[in-house]
């Protein structure tokens, strides 16, 4: 670390590097798999306990139900999931993976970078827990507990393709005018 930077500047720099690394991994996922990280997270949540309700998916991946509904619409259009009304409660919508959705989830990489996941796995359990606790504390210090925890951050929005940014913002439940303010 650069000793001429204040502690606050070093923290900001470290957070920016993390955000950028997440953004790059997310772009790689989109390029290689044709899925955004929130879409893959939703597919994985469905795979874990199907049939599953939209509300259960939203809770599992820490996104709003409205955001998940939009994600599911795009996944359904691609033939990766099906949605059907519940038999006992017609108000509930049950979601399941199609065969193509299952194949895609099984072939998809982790939402974490492979190097990071490997290095994290090499740490002692107490070290992993300490990292988690520190990250959760940072989120709390930033009053971020109620923010949708979309598994992807778009750090490079200013230099990104406008369509790509708009699609991401829709996935995150935002619109372009909110992002610029």
Q: How far is CA 130 from each of CA 55, 75, 115, 127, 136, rounded to the nearest angstrom? A: 30, 36, 19, 5, 10
Domains in the chain with CATH codes: 9-180 (1.10.10.10)
Would you give the DSSP letter of residue 52?
E
Q: What is the pTM for the complete model shown? A: 0.68
Specify the pLDDT at position 166.
Answer: 56
Distance CA 169, CA 153 (A): 10
From first CA to last CA, the distance across the chain in angstroms is: 32
Whether residue 86 is preceded by a cis peptide bond, meaning omega within 30 degrees of 0, is no
pLDDT in tens, 118-155: 999 999 999 999 999 999 899 888 887 666 655 443 33
């Amino acid at each position: 670390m650069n000793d001429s930077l204040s502690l606050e500047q070093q923290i900001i720099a470290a957070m920016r590097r993390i955000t950028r690394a997440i953004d790059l991994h997310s772009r790689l996922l989109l390029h290689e798999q044709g899925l955004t990280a929130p879409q893959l997270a939703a597919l994985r949540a469905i795979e874990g306990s199907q049939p599953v309700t939209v509300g259960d998916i939203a809770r599992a991946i820490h996104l709003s139900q409205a955001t998940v509904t939009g994600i599911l619409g795009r996944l359904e259009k691609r033939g990766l999931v099906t949605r059907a009304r519940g038999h006992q409660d017609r108000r509930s919508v049950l979601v399941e993976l199609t065969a193509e959705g299952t194949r895609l989830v099984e072939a998809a990489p982790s939402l974490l970078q492979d190097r990071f996941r490997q290095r994290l796995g090499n740490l002692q359990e107490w070290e992993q827990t300490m990292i988690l606790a520190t990250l959760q504390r940072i989120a709390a210090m930033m009053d971020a507990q109620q923010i949708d925890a979309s598994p992807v951050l778009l750090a490079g929005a200013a230099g990104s393709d406008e369509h790509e940014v708009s699609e991401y913002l829709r996935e995150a439940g935002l619109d372009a005018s909110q992002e610029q303010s």
